Structure formats: structure tokens, C-alpha cells
């Protein structure tokens, strides 16, 4: 599970066994977890984050979208 970004309390990472899915990133903080598609940034699933916090995470992804996509294609 390579970590590709840390921002505040959030860890952004990929699972190494998901290469057949479109580019996406997993995000964890404490016991909360979510998955966002990259490219057209969209929430795939959420386990515990509030709607407000998901907007913060989505903004971080938008701000780092190029970096995340480059990391995705480099890794897979």
C-alpha cells in the first residue's frame, strides 16, 4: 500500500492489487476510510467521514490531481 500523499491528518494511498480499476485513491484518518476516483474526482465509497470532511478531502484531491495521477500510472 504505497502512500502517495499526506495532508494534515489524511493519508492518501493505493492498494497494490487493484490495477484493473480506473485511477483512484484511498484516504484514511483514524477509523475513517474513503475511496475517490481520480480524473473526474468522485466519491466511490465512504466509511465514517462526515459530508464536510469529504469536501475537504475532495479539495485536497483536486489540488493534487496531477501528482496523484502521475503516481498511479508510475506505480501501475
pTM: 0.92
* Grid coordinates given for 2: 504505497
The x, y and z cell numbers of residue 38, run together, are 481520480
**pLDDT tens profile 17-73:** 877 889 999 999 999 999 999 988 999 999 999 999 999 999 999 999 999 999 999
Burial 36-69 (b: 16+ CB within 10 A, else e): bebeebeeeebeebeeebbeebbebbeebbeebe
In the chain, DSSP assigns E strands to 3-7, 10-13, 24-29, 32-37, 42-47
Amino acid at each position: 500500500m504505497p502512500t502517495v500523499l499526506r495532508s494534515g491528518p489524511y493519508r492518501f494511498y493505493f492498494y497494490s492489487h487493484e490495477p484493473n480499476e480506473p485511477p483512484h485513491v484511498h484516504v484514511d484518518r483514524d477509523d475513517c476510510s474513503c475511496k475517490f476516483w481520480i480524473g473526474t474526482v468522485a466519491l466511490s465509497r465512504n466509511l465514517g467521514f462526515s459530508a464536510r470532511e469529504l469536501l475537504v478531502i475532495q479539495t485536497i484531491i483536486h489540488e493534487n490531481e496531477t501528482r496523484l495521477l502521475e503516481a498511479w500510472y508510475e506505480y501501475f
